Amino acid sequence: MAQNPARTGWLKPAVFSTALLPLAWLIWRIAANDLGPDPVQELAISTGEWTLRFLLITLTLTPLRQLSGQVAFVRVRRMVGLFTLFYAAAHFVVWLSLLLGFRWYAIGEELLERPYISIGFLALLILIALGVTSPRAMVRRMGKNWKRLHRLIYLAAILAIVHLTWILRTDLSEAVLYGSILALLFGYRLWRRFGRFRKL
């Protein structure tokens, strides 16, 4: 069911404001010195988890549009995707600044010596590629290749979950939860494609 854009004009500002709440919460925790015994590690984990959450929300919007018929879900998909990249960039900056001390030469060493960092960095590169090609002009220019490229969002999500699992190590409950959500979304996508194949 199509919706009048004038009636949903509040939606994007509302989503934008809501997506900034995790950042505001982290800033408040920093100001209140409420990041626990290892503030740097807590900040790195929090920004990484919010990246993954926004990534899964982005993947959920298309199924919600298909199941509900509400176009509004698609209208905010690019914004939510860009916020995914934003929190991923924040996660990278925390790692680069607070853990590496802006020692750029150490990035190569970390990528070679720590596989979980290599996996996370690859996920970040995918998100950057998706963010750069998200404008409508790039969609028109790339044509069918745009869809092929943006299917990599599932690979980015898998890499992000592996990255998180490797970091958490002991308490894997959140990683299992995120992995289950991703498996459900991927299964829905396969079900849609298999259903169309059967019809053909």
Measured between alpha carbons, how far is residue 178 from residues 15, 52, 161 in Å? Answer: 21, 8, 7
Q: What is the pLDDT of residues 125-155, one digit of tens each?
A: 999 999 999 998 998 999 889 989 999 999 9
What was the pLDDT predicted at 172? Answer: 78
Q: What is the pLDDT of residues 141-192, one digit of tens each?
A: 998 899 899 999 999 999 999 998 888 777 778 888 999 999 999 999 888 8
pLDDT at 1 over 70: no
- Tokens found for residue 149: 């490229």
pTM passes above 0.85: yes
- Length in residues, the chain: 200
3-state secondary structure the chain: CCCCHHHHCCHHHHHHHHHCHHHHHHHHHHHCCCCCCCHHHHHHHHHHHHHHHHHHHHHHHHHHHHHHCCCHHHHCHHHHHHHHHHHHHHHHHHHHHHHCCCCCHHHHHHHHHCHHHHHHHHHHHHHHHHHHCCCHHHHHHHCHHHHHHHCHHHHHHHHHHHHHHHHHCCCCHHHHHHHHHHHHHHHHHHHHHHHHHHHC
CB 152 within 8 A of CB 130: yes
